[in-house]
Amino acid sequence: MVPALRKAFNEAFTRQRYDAFLTDLRSRYPGAIEFRIAETPVFVPADFSQLLQEACEHIIDVILEPRFKEWTQRAIPPQDEVARENDHPHFLVFDFGVCEDGQGGWQPQLIEMQGFASLYGFQVYYPETLRRHFSIPANYSQFLNGLDHDSYLTLLRDTILGDCSPENVILLEIKPHEQKTRVDFYCTRDYLGIQPICLTELIQEGKQLFYKHPATGKKTLIRRIYNRLIFDELHTAAATLPPGFADIRQDLDVEWVAHPNWFYRVSKFTLPFLRHPFVPSTWFLNELKQPPADLENYVLKPLFSFAGQGVIIDVSPQDLDVSDPENWILQRKVKYAGLIPTPDVPAKAEIRMMYLWPDGAPRPTLAINLARLSKGKMIGVNYNKDREWVGGSVGFFQR
């Protein structure tokens, strides 16, 4: 997206430098990075950054609407609703595909969004490692809104810890040390001092939760939970877990960061409420008067799934005949641009804008980002097998 920087990076790239970078990246947390790391970052110019932020702020305005909770109550499956929901999500992430604008430039198009945490720890560690092996201009950064390494970690600490001591805050997951994103858990532990804890390790006494601290073995009160657990995964894994683990949907004396209900409220369910040039037209399937004539230009998505599961890319009229149309959305397809030259075919890019929203703040703060590169129909491992110059990446934004 910045031709001079792209040309310089590609010309200086060698397989040896890339391999040395990966060796360095993996050295701190051996075996913890299972996903593919792309060969290149994305260089994001200031004008495109402004377009991204404009779209994000529009979405945040909608989330701040007084009736937003009323509009999105149906998004929460009754069996997964958790007590003590707070006023706002502590995290907001917005995924944008980079597309051609029809005038020789680029424009963002929203793909998905979530009121749930992302790789807020790894996206500090990984770009800083990348800089040791490749030449990245000093006026380009993964941090946004004027933040740097120290001020970003201060904001992250304020968001996740609040007024609690690190020992009274946990990162909650199912089998955290087996998750593909566990490297982010370890980065977060090292930056903030909080431990990744499995749901089955919670100790409940009345309304209070405790855990045994891995370093000391001491039973420790939990005041705040940095939630990385997704109920879909819990339902799938339940049969393989030991019986008798705590039911976290109860009214418990804990604060949630972010509260699990926001995972559902800020999601694909929110898309039909948005009207913006950088948000593809989206309808709840049950509210669609008649299918669009150019159905081939739309994608059908189930509301209650994640990681691309159940998405129908090439939609036929028969696909619209579902038993629960209120639980599906029809969204205009986004045509990613092949914008990053690589040794074979150009790569497509998706940029995730990542916000932090501490308690008491009137609005969230745009803080950091990640990027993903693809050469398949969709972003994701299954669509990019045996490809190079694809995978997890980062946007270096012009200051």
For 6-28, give the DSSP string: HHHHHHH--HHHHHHHHHHHHHS
Angle of helix 15-27 relative to helix 122-131, nearest 10 degrees? 140
**60 backbone φψ class: left, alpha, beta (φ>0; ψ -120 to 50):** alpha
Give the per-residue pLDDT at 303. 87
Q: Is the pLDDT of residue 273 over 90?
A: yes
Do residues 326 and 58 make contact, with C-beta atoms less than 8 angstroms apart? no
As given in the structure block, the two tokens for residue 19 are: 């391999």
What CA–CA distance (Å, rounded) separates 142 from 370?
8
Q: Which residue would you say has higher pLDDT here, 381 or 298?
A: 298
Q: Tell me the average pLDDT across 68-94.
A: 96
Share of the chain above pLDDT 70, in %: 98
* C-beta of residue 339 within 8 angstroms of C-beta of residue 348: yes
Q: How far apart are CA 102 and CA 99, in angstroms?
A: 9
305 has pLDDT over 80 = no
Instruction: Quote the pLDDT of residue 307.
Output: 62
> For the chain, what is the mean pLDDT?
95
pLDDT at position 383, please? 63
User: Containing H/E element for 51?
Assistant: helix 46-63
Tell whether the model's pLDDT for residue 320 goes beyond 80.
yes
Name beta bridge partners: 226. Answer: 171, 257
Q: How many CB atoms within 10 Å of residue 84?
A: 13
Categorise residue 104: left if φ over 0, alpha if ψ from -120 to 50, beta otherwise.
left
The predicted structure's pLDDT at residue 186:
98
* Residue type, position 136, single letter: I
pLDDT value of position 90: 98
Banded pLDDT at 345 (limits 50, 70, 90)? very high
CA distance 261 to 113: 14
Residue 333 has what pLDDT? 92
Q: What is the pLDDT of residue 310?
A: 84
CA 130-92-112 angle, to 5 degrees, is: 85
Residue 358 has pLDDT above 90, yes or no: yes
* Residue 205: band (very low, low, confident or very high) from pLDDT cuts 50, 70, 90: very high
Q: What is the pTM of this model?
A: 0.95
What's residue 381's pLDDT?
58
Q: Which two tokens stand for residue 355?
A: 């916000």
Average pLDDT rounded to a whole number, residues 117-130: 98
Confidence grade of residue 185 (pLDDT, cut at 50, 70, 90): very high
Q: Using 50, 70 and 90 to split pLDDT, how confident is the model at 244?
A: confident
Question: Residue range 289-310: average pLDDT?
Answer: 85
Give the pLDDT mean for 78-92.
96
- Average pLDDT estimate for 217-244: 93
pLDDT of 213 higher than 70 = yes
Burial of 30 (0-12, 13-18, 19+ CB in 10 A): exposed
